[in-house]
Every structure is written in structure tokens, then in C-alpha cells.
Structure 1
């Protein structure tokens, strides 16, 4: 019923939104004008138009269209600024007062003389500039191969790295990639990178995007998300473009897919799809893992840390079928709409071999070895939307609904063996597990802001709701042997687990200006997280096949976590300096009701003071400093609270803890960065620190002899059971530095990136506290060419030495070293017609468990021929893993153990493929390269070859 109500309300809101837009189509008065190049008098396509208040906070923004014109709503403030920016050109700032004309006519902007003088490098484009806190890069300044994709271009930007599909900018994970300021298939960064052509990109912005509530109020609340905004070329904004491809190779390997984009001004439709059995994916891991259940002995409740050093991105052999649709439009002058739907179906065959060493006491340890073969089928549907409604100059609204349905089926064969420290066998298990899981999550977020007549006085609210349900059926057949007692037993079991939840969170914030540069805030927030879980487990009782309920493995409970928070804050905003300080008082109530097999009630209250401080500073020399101190609490999950034993692997049991409390986390972030436009040098350094009290760790019990758990479940000697428990003293820190410069003679950029990290993880093992500490020291260097679209290379290497210590066994040796290197080389001897490309990776492991140290070479090579008009057709031969050495090894360090895991990956195959580039543009919109660097793209070659970066 709740789902039906939610969908009905959502449908009604979607239906009435266009009507509201029609009712308000008269709207506020508009400021309009045309921006032209002062020298050539040609229209400047894609110039940024920004409206700012007297404190320089952004009110609204737009870009100029195909004829250089723009139109933007009058903000109805007594005084405000209109700012026009374009890379390589002078910034134009006009101050407006009430009563001034709104028709600005033609506005001419000239080239920035500061960019034409001191540094001259012949034949190079302007690399970029800083616009406030946003780094803007000129796409034309970075040479990419013919028919390259967005990830090829963005990976060349200073301070940006792409590794195993993960994007980092200025040392931080990129959480969003926007296209012309709009979401593209939700918040999944990988889709835009893999489906937009590089030659459609005019510029790339790297910024810290503020929260919706902060952007609506114009006040910085200290919440940021590292974001990349891709600005498309003017000639692409009224066109259609894309590509289709298909390939077939040895062992029936295939890969087909494509994408098509229809851009018509504000209205944009994109369709993507793919089908392959070569481990290619264009979606995030959330689609793979959303509601799937874990199987096998290596998985434990609670958190773990570690790193994957594998050359290949995807473990297992994956078959993928996916389809996506993205729609974006502007309805009238007040409503911006973006929505997407994505479906994917995957089949994955995984082989994992695990070696885990567990510290039991000062003079005792144990080894667990496991081999696991899994076949996993996953189907996922997800849809989301974003509706921005600028009702009038006082009221604004943002709505973000989303829905996700998932179905997952897995079958696993597992063999596990416990050995003592002398490597004598203690116990083993062989089992088969079949799991069927289905579930959904429906959520909605609404942000509303009201501005009073007094400048700076606002009231805003943010409301989020979420419903979820998860239904899981598990069949288990297990054969277990105890070597000490020389006994053997079998287990046939069926279980069903149903969980559902509903949560809401609402906050209201009031801001009151106390001076021209400072604002006081008051806020109240309430949140309630309700969940219910019901698990029933049945075991085979006799040879007649009768299944009986096992109460030791069954549980039913309801959980409610109510949180209320009130706070006061102060915000100071001056040119170059922004400071936010906030103190909240939080009162939380945990109510846990056990219904089966025993009835009981567990209540607990939590009272916390939560301070937050953020500071942003920039000087005239371009150096920027950011600091953030934040406190927060984290509540335990449903899985961690449910007091029911998971015996999927009889050698590695786990059980929840209904008396768990919330954890309290202190985190700091400090960042200093410098972009030198004259010398083309970049520098940034950041420090991250996290300190957690009441950390949700694990209490591990390793059975010294056969032990009954809860007087019903047998744990054989050497077997272990883990329980989540609150502990103090968990911490992690990381220091990362990046220094980039260029070698003009070689047309190559160099990046040095040393780093060091430290983690401290507490745990309990057989009643004793153990502290696992890990120190990681690393150094990397990258050489990236920027020669031409016909010659391109990238050489990178990074070494990392990890020191691992255990407080219970100080003599235990778990230090290890990894070295990862990669060389990419592309060459086309005849202007892109024929080409050859090599991608060689090497990974060295040293110090892992016996049999896991390896030296792996992965060599991928392709050669091809481009034909048809404008090289739109491409035929190539591709060989993956030419040396047949591809491999994947990972190490995980937890509170009481160190695990090494080997996983199967895709190995050698050869494929012949054909790609066709789709594209049609307006005749009046020449490609950027044909405009001589004039409006419609970034300014190309400067007189005398000067550049800013």
C-alpha cells in the first residue's frame, strides 16, 4: 500500500509540473544580450553567464547559444552582478541596480592580455584557467586519438586519474559527472566517460559541487561532492551523434553495442546498449551488488579494509546485456527535468582461492584455506529523475525520485579447510549453496527554499524518504569433517529471509544576515529508520525428507532508530575567505523488539554534540586552502543487529548483535592546491583523517575444541564465529601529494604522486583485544604525451610498500610490496587511416602468502584501418592478454586476520570488430577545429603561440 501511494503521488506530481509551468509562463523579467568576439565580431558560443549577489554567491547561470545570445531571469535583487567568462578572454563584470535596462544588446569581449605575454610555447592551445574555485580545461589543448571517447580525454587532464574505472580528481574520488551541467544517467560517472565522444567536448570543469540546499540558499553549508562537468561544443548541441560496433572472436567471444545522442538545444535524448561476454561493462558496481546476498567463508559481518592489485578490472568471466535511456529538457522558463532508466543483466562465473591467517593469541595462529566456484545471475532495473522548479524569485524546489528493482540468483560450490599454525588439518567443509534474492528500493528527496524580502534571510527544508524490501531463499547442502575426532556429519537446510524498511529524514534551516559578510543559521532535523527482519530456517530431520524449524537459526525482530538534531551556526563569506561553524545537539533512541524465538525489548538512548567547521581560503597568487572538520554518528545495519546465526559456511559462522550502539566519528580534511598558469605546473596535497569511537568491529571466537553455540549449533575445533561489537580506537589517515609539470621539448606532462597512509583497526579474538596496524608508503610517476592525435603514449608506474603489525603477535611477518606499471602507445602513420595500439601492464607482488607472489604481464594489442567519409568506419583486429598471464590477486587486512585472494579473470582472446561513427551537424555549425579556435570552441592557437597553462 505504501508503494502504491508513493507511486501515485509521484505520478501526480509529474503530471501537474508542466501545468504549473504553463500557469507561470509569464515569469519574471529576463536579462538578454549577445556576446561577440571584440576582434572578429563573431558570436561567442558557450560563453558562461553568471548572476552573483554582492557577496559573490552564485544566484543563477546559463551559457550563450548558437548565435551568441543569452537570456536569464532577473533575480529581483536591489543590486547584483552579471559576469561573463570565456577561457582565454577577459572577464566582463557589470553591476546592476533596480531600474537599469534589461536589454543589453551586443557585448564585446577581448582576449586576455595577461595570457599573451610572458610564456610562449609555439603551436600549443590554451590549456585552461581558474574560474573561482573551478578548474576549466580546454579540450582542444589535449590531443586524443581518432574516434576517442571522453575517458581518453579526461584521463589526460592535470590532476585527474582513471584506474580500473575509478575516477579521481585532485586526489579525491569523483562522485558525479555532468554533461552541460545536467546529470547523465543519474550519478554513475562511468556511463558518461564510456559513451560520449571526445571530439564532442569543448571544455571540462573540475569543481567541488555544493549541496542542493546550499545552492538554493546561496550559502555554503560545507557539503561538497567532487564533480566533473563536461561542456559540449556548440555544434553538438543541435545534432545527433553516436557510434555502433560489433565484434566476434575465438572461443565464441563477442561484443556488440552502441550509443546514440539526440541533442536539440535543451532537449536531449541518449540511448546506450551493449551485449558481450568479454567482461566489458558501462555501469557501476551498485547494479551488481544492490540486493545480492553474500556466500562463502571469506565474508564476515562488519567492515574490512584492503586493496585489489589485479591488472584486470573485473573478476570472473562476465556476460553482460544492458540498455539505458536518458532524457533531459527544459519545460518553459522555470522547470529543468532530467530522467534516466537503466537495465542490465549479468552472468558471472567466479573462481576464488583464499588463504587467511588469523591471530588467536600471542603464540598461536591459524590458517584457513578456501576454494570457491560461483555462478551468479543478476538483473537490475533502475530509474531516477531530477526536477528543478524555479517557481519565482522567492520560491524554488528540487525533487529527486528514484527506484531500483533487482533479482539475483547464485549457485556456489565451496571447499574450506582449517589448519593449525603447524599446518595440520583441523576441520574441513564441502558445501553447495543456492540463493535467490529479489528486492527493491524506492526513494525520493525534496529540497525547498523560500527567500524573504530582506537579502540573506531564507528558510529551506530538505525531506528524504525511502522504502526497501528484500526477499531471499537459500538452499544449503554441507558435508563437514572433524580431523581431531575423526567424525563426519552432513547438513541439509532451507531458509527464507524477508526484510523491509522505511526511513525518512527532514530538516529545516533558517538563515539570518547579521552583517554584509556574515550570516547566522538555526536548524532542526528529525529522522526515523524503521526496519523489520524475519528469517526462518528448516533442516532435514530424517530420511523421509521432513524439514523441521531450527529455532537457533531463526529470528524475527523489529527495529526503530529515531534521531533528532538541533543546531546553531555562523557563516562568514568574504572575497577569498569562507568560514562555516556549526554545533548540533543530537538525541537518538534505539528501539529493538525481538518477536521470535524469544520475546524481548532492548532500548537505548544516545546523546551527542556534533561540531562542524569548514574553511576555504584563496589568495591572489592562486593558492587555495580548504579545511573541514566534521563529526557524525553511524547506526548499525539490520544485518548487524539480527541475532541469528549464518551457517552458510559451517567453518565460519556469523551472528548479529541486538545490543549494538551507534558509532561516533571525527573526520578531518585539509587540502592545499596551486595551479600556475604561466609555468603550466600543478600542485596539490591533501590530508584525510578519521577517528571513530564505539566503532562497529568484530568479536571473533575460534573454537579450541568442539563447541556448541547457543547450546544448539556445533562449531568444530578450528571453526570460528564472528559477532559485531562496539570498540574504541579505530582510526585511519592518508597524506597524498601530486606535483605536475610539462616538458615542452617532448610535448609531455609529468606527474609525481607520493603518498603515505596509516590505519588502526581494533578487534577481539577469543577474549583478547588485538590491534592490526597498517602503514602504506607509495610513490608514483606518470609521463603523458600531448604530441598529436596520431602519436600518443602514457607511461606510469607506482610502487607501494605495506607494513602490517599485530599487537598480539609482534613477530608475525605480513609486510608486502606491490609495483604496478603501465605503458600505452598509439601510432597512426597516415593521418588516422591505419593505426596500431599497444597497452602493456605489469604487476609485481612480493610478501603475500605462499603461492600468491606473482609477476604478471598483461599485453593488449590492436591494429586497424579507418575508411568511409571522415574516417567514420573502423575495422580492427584486437588481441587481449597476448601472453596469457592475466591474473587478479588482492590482500585484505581486518582486525584479527590477513587474507590473500586469487580470482579468475578473462584471459587471452582475439577479436575482429567493426565500428561506425554516427554524426550529423547543422551546416552553419562547423566543427571547432574549422573555426580557427574562434567562438563555438575554445580559442585555439594564440598569436605567437602563447597560452595560460
Structure 2
């Protein structure tokens, strides 16, 4: 009995000791100054409670500081450094906040002026892996949307199709306080978030590890997708805000938009909806995208985020879309073949497309302790579409003009697609600073069904051919991807990272085409030449290791690894099976230098194999079109790409001057090219083959500056790209070489009193030549802008868009101007209600024309747009912050 008593006492003492040990926490961060962005060594840091110093530390040589074993309670962090203004920050250590990450703390130059300290945040800050804009230095008008703020930021462009680029690199998602706004879709944030709630906008590389791509995310200056993180102002985190508006006009045009946002600290609820059949304002200098047609769109959704509980956080969204597009277009395509074999295909198309989708995204973060976070990210996407198309085509030999065929036909199709996935993530931080374990498992299942009925009559010189068929296609894809990464510090200046990935992909494809049986009146005759059923399995695994070292301002990363791919296929139609396997090296090297005054230079190299699809390896024909036939090639070798990148970023401290340059070059061994053969009936037989010689290179420069105390800003972007793409045409090597250069010069002026003016000019020049002697070159430019003047509650002006393409035929409208004058008036309290009258496309151009160039063809296209209409609208904005 005595033993049990002693054991009970020991357990009580142990539990008490454990509880006591857990009643402490830790705080850490980084120090930098705003003038040169240098890391501040030997800054004196104290932690006080009730004006009593509890701990004191000095920052290390890299500007980092940390203090642990801090008992639960409320404290003040005091930082002092000679010549810089002292900083005092409050923080709390408790059960929900055991580890406090202060991120980078910037210290300002101390300016004494009548015993006061004058502090102004710099407009742009370049951190190690993040470019940060302070929105307070970029003023927008009242009730302006986020898009209006982004247009003012140096280096950021919003294109006509709604996509965003930063220094020429695409932005693929927008976060709010580190969490996706809806699914991260940029267009939702651009239209439904107001600019006035934004404190900072951070730009960093999108985390590719969630997609099981080997290696860490690319540096911010390197090519790759980018993420914008919207940091909200502290005084805008509690309250309600939103807008509601509607309008109607001539030609049965209408629009409606609304959003309601409720915020309560870490809790956010957003409900959005918009509908209409009007065109969006042209915002970029790029050409109008073809195939836009005349659209009617209806969207609605809800987004919920709750991060008030440090242990359990949730973010989820649902978005529904219904789109109806009327399409009327024509195109002229030059199919490039050697000698006199090139053909010209002229097509005119009328059609109607209906598409409906439902998208659900969620994320649950569970943090059982201060060092571990487990996340579950489910996703469900369901789509349905109906298409009706009427098409007429004529094909000639380009040189002689002799007609090969002419055809006309109709097509009706229905598609049902669904995707469900779950992503499981584990992030664990070790006891040592910099020690981290990340694991990721993604499971995804995709189901696609498509049924299409085609009736086509094709007339040749000596005969005609009627096609009356039904295609019934079903495909399924099951994918499992996993990724584990471990990082461990080796002393103070080195880090070791080990990473392994494994992926499994199973495809099940059933393509059946049936001919119409006149006797039975049904589609019951299987066409074996256009039917195929096959199953494939693809396994891929990688193992990598790298070491990163720091020597002063120099950072070097060296790594290597292996990737193995093994795939098997079973063709049920042809009763054939085959398997292939590949082993490749994964070298990696990167050097970055951070000299003074906010500059950073990065150079990197990596080698990566490219994935081969089962469709490319299938030893049979896979096609659903008798004029465009595709074959597989089981003898393909796996391509391997060597990539070299360089970037330089410079921000002038305390100003809006930003300069970036990025260069990239790649060479691909065993590149997969297309071997295209022109058939006697004018059709094309395409087959993938390995060809050497694929190359590409590009350079992008961006320079931004301001004048007149920030009222006038300039942004200049220039890009040049070269590519060599090897192809086979009728069995003859016919490489294409493409050289493109384009720029975008933007000037904005906003004096916050009356004038709001912007002008963008985007000239570009394109040259494409082939080994067979085909050469095309053309100049194109887009000019877009607006000129608005405000007087008291009245605003009037005009927006314009002009497109010119020297290569387009006269009947394709090589140049067209779009002018849209507008008058707006604000009234009620706080000018919350706005009435406006807009005349869209005053000159009634009704055009969307463009040219596209590839290694095998040159295509001009024209699509009818809505044209001129007059729109009357009302918009009411409301806001109430606590």
C-alpha cells in the first residue's frame, strides 16, 4: 500500500511539474531598418511586465532574436537601437499563444522635431521572400474596389481577361490575412473587396508543395505563379460593409451586383452575388480575347473564415456559376507544310454554350500544440455544359488556291464533370530554430462524361462524304500524391533539407463512336476506327537532399536527387499491354546575394524530367474526328529540361522606385514534338515524336517611379522571348523559331481633388519563321485609359480602348477603337449612393479580333461582341466598423 501511496505522490508531483512546464512560452522575430533594409545586429531587447524587466537579449548577427521560458501573462517587448526610433509592442503568452512570431519588425530613423518622432512607412519593402506594398501610400477614391488599388501598384498589371501579373509573372490566387478568399480565385477579390480595408499587399511565390511538385517554392523573383496576400487594417477587422447595385439599358442589357461582409476579428462571413449580360471594362493593353461572344453570367457564393480559436480554425466557401454564351465567329488558319503543301482553312461558326458549376472549398487547421498544425483541405467541383454548334469550313492549298474540300455540319454535346479531392497536411516545428517537418497527402478522383451528336457533309472534287455519328466518352482519373520534407539547421549558417515524393495516377478511358443505322433509326453501329478503351497506371517517386548556407549577404543552395517513373497500360480494344520506366537526376543550385539598399540578386539552375501522358504512348489511334486523327507512340523517350533563371530586384528605400529584371533559358533533351502528315482528303494525322533542339529564352524588365509627391506614377514593363520548337511536317523537319517583344507603358495621375487620369500603351512585335521558308511578322498594340474629373458630387469622363494588329485582313477589323463615356453622381449621407449613365462602345465596333501563332499554324480569328448600348445603374455602399 505504501508503494501505491508513493507512486500516487510521484504522479501528482510529475503532473504538477508538467503543468508548470507547459505554463511558459516563447517569442521570436527579426529586426531590420527601413532605410537600407539591413539586419540589425546587437539591438537591445527587453521583455517587461508591470514595468519590471523579466528578460533581456541582444539580436544576433542576422538580426534575429528569441526568448523562451516566458511564464503565461501579458508583456511588453521593448527594442532599442542607436539612431533608430525605439519600438514598444504588447504581447500575451497563454495556452492558445505559446509561441509568438513577430515576423520582421522594421525600425525607423528617429527624427526629432519639437520632441516628437516623425514616422512614415515606406511605400514598397523588399523582404527576403516577399514584396510588400503599404496601401496608405497609394490613395484611391472613396468606395473603390480592390482592383483600383492594384492598378496603382508598381509592377502589377490587370489584363483584359481579368488575370493579374506581377513583374510579368502570373498571380494565381488571392488570400486575405493568409487564408483564401473563396477558392483564392482573383476575380472574386478584385470585384468584391474594397480598397479602403487594405493595410498591406504582400507578394510571394505560390506554395507548390501542395501540388506535390519536388523542391521548395521558387524564390519570389523567379518565374512561377505568385500569391497576393491582402493584410487588413486593424480598425477594419470588426464591422459590416458591402454594396448592392443594379442597372438596365438598351438592347435588353442589365447587370446586378451585391456583397455583404461581416467581420469580427478572426471571423469573416462574405456573401456575394452578381448577374448580367454586359461587357466588362477593358483594363489592359493586351488584345481582346477571342471567343468571348455575347455572355450572360450569374454567380453567387458564400465564404466563411473563423480563426478566433488558436487550436481549431476553419475556412470554407461555396460558389455557383451559370453562364450562357452566344458565339458568332470566323477564323482563317494557315496550316504549315513544306513546299506547296500548306493549306488554308476558313471557318465560320455560330453556337450556343451553357455552363453550370458548383465549387466547394474548405480548410480545417488543428493546432494541438504550439509546434504542430494538421490541416484538412477538401474540395468538390461539379460542372455541366451543353453546346450547340453550326459550322461551315472550306480548305484550300495556300499557294495554288485549289479547293480540297468544303463541309458544313452541326454538333450537339453534353458534358458532366466532377472532381472530389482531400488534401491532408502536417507541419511540425522542432525545438531548434529552423527545424521543420512538412508532410502532405492529396487524394483526388475525377469523373468525366461527354456525349456528342455530329452531322457533317463534306464535299470533295469527285465525291461527297456524310458523317452521322454519336460519340459517347467516359473517363476517370484517380490520383494519390504524397510529399514529405524535413529541414534541420546545421549550426547557425547552414540548413539541411531532405524531401521525398510519391505519386500514383490511374486513368480509365472509354471512347466509343457509333454510326447511325438507317434501318433501325438508332446509333447502334460501333465505329472501331474511332473507338478505344484503355486503362493506365502511372507511378512516380523522387528523393532529394539540399544544403543551404549563408556567408554574410550570400546564400547558396546546392541539392541533388533522383526521380523514377514507371507506367503500365492495358488497351482493352486492341488487347495490348506495355510498360515503361525512367530514371533521372534532379540537380539544383541557387545563389542569392542581398547587398545594401534593398537589392537582391538570384541565380538558379535545375534539371527536371517532363511527364509523358499515356495518350502519347498508346500504340493505337485515339480520335473522335475523322479530319484530325491522333496516334500514340510507345517508343517515346522521356524529355528532360535544363532551366537557368536569374532575377534582380531593387527598391529605393522610402520611395516608389522599383526595378526588377528576370531572365530565363531552357533546353529540352528528347523533347516531344508533333509529327503532322497531310492526308489526301485534307485531314491531318498527328503523332508525338522525340526531336532534339527545343530551346527557349526570355527577359522581362520592370521599372516604376513617381513624381509630384506620389500623385503621378509611371510603370514600364518590357519583355522579350525567343523559342525554337522542332516539328515534323509530312516527315520533313520543319522547325519554327519565334521572336516576340512587347511592352506596357502606364502613367496614372490622381490629385485626390478632381482629376483621375490613366494611360497605358502596349506595343509589341512578333516574328515567326519555319525551316520550310514560311515567315510571318506583325506589329500590334493596345491603348487603354480613362480620364475622369470630379467636382463636388459629380464625376464625368470617358474610358477608351484601341487595338491595332498589322497582320489582320481588312474584313477582320485590324484596328478598332472602343469609347465609353460616363457620368456619375453621388448623394445621400457619406455619398453612399451613386447613380451613373454609361454609353458602352459608343462607336459600335462589335469586334474582338486577334492573331495567334504556333509551330504548325498561324490563325486569325474574329468574334462578334455586343456592341453599343446605354446603361443606367445605381450603386449603394454601406459600412460600419466598430
Would you call these one fold, judging by a TM-score over 0.5? yes
Answer yes or no: is 1:785 the counterpart of 2:781: no
Deviation track 1:749-790 (CA, whole Å, cap 9, x = no partner) reads 122222211121221111112111111123432211132163
Kindly tell me: are residues 643 and 441 of structure 1, through their superposed partners in 2, closer, same or farther at Cα, counting changes over 3 Å? farther
Aligned counterpart, 2:109: 113
The correspondence of residues 749-898 of structure 1 with structure 2, limited to 5 A, is: 749-788=713-752, 790-809=754-773, 812-830=774-792, 833-849=793-809, 851-852=811-812, 854-898=814-858
Please point out which of 154, 160, 179 is paired with 1:158: 154
Give SS of 1:814's match: strand
Deviation string, structure 1 residues 558-587 (Cα, Å, up to 9, x no partner): 111111222222122466443322211112
Paired with 2:59 and 2:172, the residues of 1 have a C-alpha distance of 28
TM-superposed deviation, 1:325: 0.9
Q: Is the 8 A contact 2:291 2:863 kept in 1?
A: no
- Does 2:516 correspond to 1:540? yes
Q: State which of 355, 368, 379 in structure 1 corresponds to 2:332.
A: 355
Change in 2 beyond 3 A, CA 1:479/1:221: closer
Q: How far apart in 2 are the matches of 1:863 and 1:258?
A: 21
Q: 1:746 to 1:562 in 2, by over 3 A?
A: closer
Which position in structure 2 is the counterpart of 1:194? 191
Q: Tell me the alpha carbon deviations over residues 391-418 of structure 1, each in whole angstroms, 9 at most, x when there is no partner.
A: 2244322332211111111111111111
Task: State the shift of 1:679 in Å.
Answer: 5.2
Contact 1:430 1:478 in 2 (8 A): yes
Q: 2:649 aligns with which of 662, 673, 679?
A: 673
Work out whether residues 289 and 850 of structure 2, in 8 Å CA contact, stay in contact via their aligned partners in 1: no
What is the CA–CA distance in structure 2 between the aligned matches of 1:740 and 1:416, rounded to whole Å?
48
Specify every segment of 5 or more residues in structure 2 that has no aligned partner in the other structure, as ranges: 1-18, 29-56
* Aligned mates of 1:490, 1:652 — CA distance in 2: 16
Distance 1:628 1:398 in 2: 31
| Residues 1:651 and 1:556: Cα distance change in structure 2 (over 3 Å) | closer
What residue is the counterpart of 2:376 in the other structure?
A: 399
Question: Is 2:601 aligned against 1:605?
Answer: no
Residue 185 (structure 1) aligned with residue 182 (structure 2): yes
Q: Which residue matches 1:475?
A: 453
Q: Alpha-carbon deviation of 1:544?
A: 4.1
| Displacement of 1:842 | 0.8
Deviations 1:650-679 (Å, cap 9, x if unpaired)? 443444555555432232322101111255
Q: 1:376 aligns to what?
A: 353
SS of the counterpart of 1:391? Answer: strand
Report the equivalent of 1:624: 600
1:220-261, Cα deviation, whole Å (9 max, x unpaired): 786975222222222321101000110011111110121110
Match of 1:232 in 2: 232
Distance 2:861 2:751 in 1: 41
TM superposition shift of 1:439? 1.3
Shift of 1:642: 5.8
Say if 2:410 is the partner of 1:443. Answer: no
CA shift at 1:56, angstroms? 6.4
Asked whether the 8 Å contact 1:309–1:890 carries over to 2, the reply is no
Assess, with a 3 A threshold, how the Cα gap between structure 1 residues 847 and 751 changes in structure 2: closer, same or farther. Answer: same
1:151-172 CA-partner distances (Å, limit 9, x unpaired)? 0011101111111212111331
User: Equivalences for 1:693-712 in 2 at 5 Å?
Assistant: 693-703=669-679, 705=680
Deviations 1:774-819 (A, max 9, x none): 111234322111321632111111211111101112xx33111101
Change over 3 Å in CA distance of 1:58–1:394 after alignment to 2: farther
The answer to whether the 8 A contact 1:126-1:138 is kept is yes
Q: C-alpha deviations, 1:160-189, integer Å up to 9, x for none?
A: 111121211133111222212221112211
> C-alpha separation between the residues in 2 aligned to 1:448 and 1:432?
52
**Cα distance in 2 between the residues matched to 1:871 and 1:856:** 37
The 1:279/1:734 distance shift into structure 2, 3 A limit, reads: same
Cα distance in 1 for residues equivalent to 2:439 and 2:151: 38
Within-5 A mapping of 1:394-543: 394-420=371-397, 421-453=399-431, 456-483=434-461, 485=462, 487-543=463-519
Q: 1: CA distance between counterparts of 2:496 and 2:653?
A: 37
SS at match of 1:434: strand
> CA 1:655–1:437 in 2, change beyond 3 Å: closer, same or farther?
farther
Q: Matches of 1:509 and 1:125 in 2, distance apart?
A: 37
| TM-score normalized with structure 2 length | 0.84
Give the superposition deviation at 1:52. Answer: 13
Q: Which residue of 2 aligns with 1:584?
A: 561
- Tell me: CA distance 1:644–1:535, structure 2 relative to 1, closer, same or farther (3 Å): farther
Q: Deviations over 1:305-331 (max 9, x none)?
A: xx9953368711111111111111125
Cα distance between partner residues in 2 of 1:310 and 1:675: 31
Judged with a 3 Å threshold, the aligned counterparts in structure 2 of structure 1 residues 479 and 822 are, in CA distance, closer, same or farther, namely: same
| Distance in 2 between residues matched to 1:839 and 1:140, nearest whole Å | 26
Between 150-159 and 559-568, report the one with greater CA deviation: 559-568
- Determine helix, strand or coil for the equivalent of 2:337: strand
Corresponding position of 1:343: 320
**CA separation of 1:511/1:653 partners in 2, compared to 1, >3 Å: closer, same or farther?**
same
Does the 8 Å contact 1:471/1:499 carry over to 2? yes
Flag the 1:212–1:586 CA change in 2: closer, same or farther, 3 A. Answer: closer
| Cα RMSD, aligned residues only | 3.8
Q: Are 1:739 and 2:739 counterparts? A: no
Please give the per-residue CA displacement for 1:817-873, whole angstroms capped at 9, x wherever unaligned: 10111121111111xx11113111111110245644611101112112111100111
Change (3 A) 1:473 1:787: same
CA contact (8 A) 1:553 1:644 kept: no
CA distance in structure 2 between the aligned counterparts of 1:409 and 1:211, rounded to whole angstroms: 34
What SS class does the counterpart of residue 635 from structure 1 fall into? coil
1:552 is aligned to 529
Secondary structure of 2:148's aligned partner: helix
CA–CA separation in structure 2 for the residues paired with 1:504 and 1:310: 39
- Cα deviation, residue 874, structure 1: 0.7
Give aligned pairs, total. Answer: 809
CA contact (8 A) 1:222 1:580 kept: no
| Corresponding residue SS for 2:588 | strand
Q: Report if the CA contact (8 A) 2:124-2:651 is conserved.
A: no
**Take 1:439 and 1:505, find their aligned partners in 2: how far apart are those partners?**
21
> Does the CA contact (< 8 Å) of 1:698 and 1:895 recur in 2?
no
Measured in 2, the distance between the counterparts of 1:57 and 1:205 equals 21
Residue in 2 that maps onto 1:289 = none
CA distance in 1, matches of 2:856, 2:641: 22
1:143 aligns with 2:139: yes
More RCO (CA 8 Å, sep 6+): 1
Change (3 A) 1:601 1:125: closer
CA displacement at 1:737 relative to structure 2: 0.9
Q: 1:360 to 1:776 in 2, by over 3 A?
A: same
5+ residue gaps, structure 1, are 1-23, 34-50, 61-71, 283-306, 706-715, 923-949
CA distance in 2, matches of 1:513, 1:734: 36
* Change over 3 Å in CA distance of 1:198–1:680 after alignment to 2: closer
- C-alpha change, 1:225 and 1:369, in structure 2 (3 Å) is closer
The answer as to whether partners of 2:209 and 2:483 remain within 8 angstroms in 1 is no
Contact in 2 for aligned 1:627/1:671 (Cα 8 Å): yes
Q: What is aligned with 1:926?
A: none
Aligned residue for 2:779, secondary structure, equals strand
Shift of 1:639: 5.1
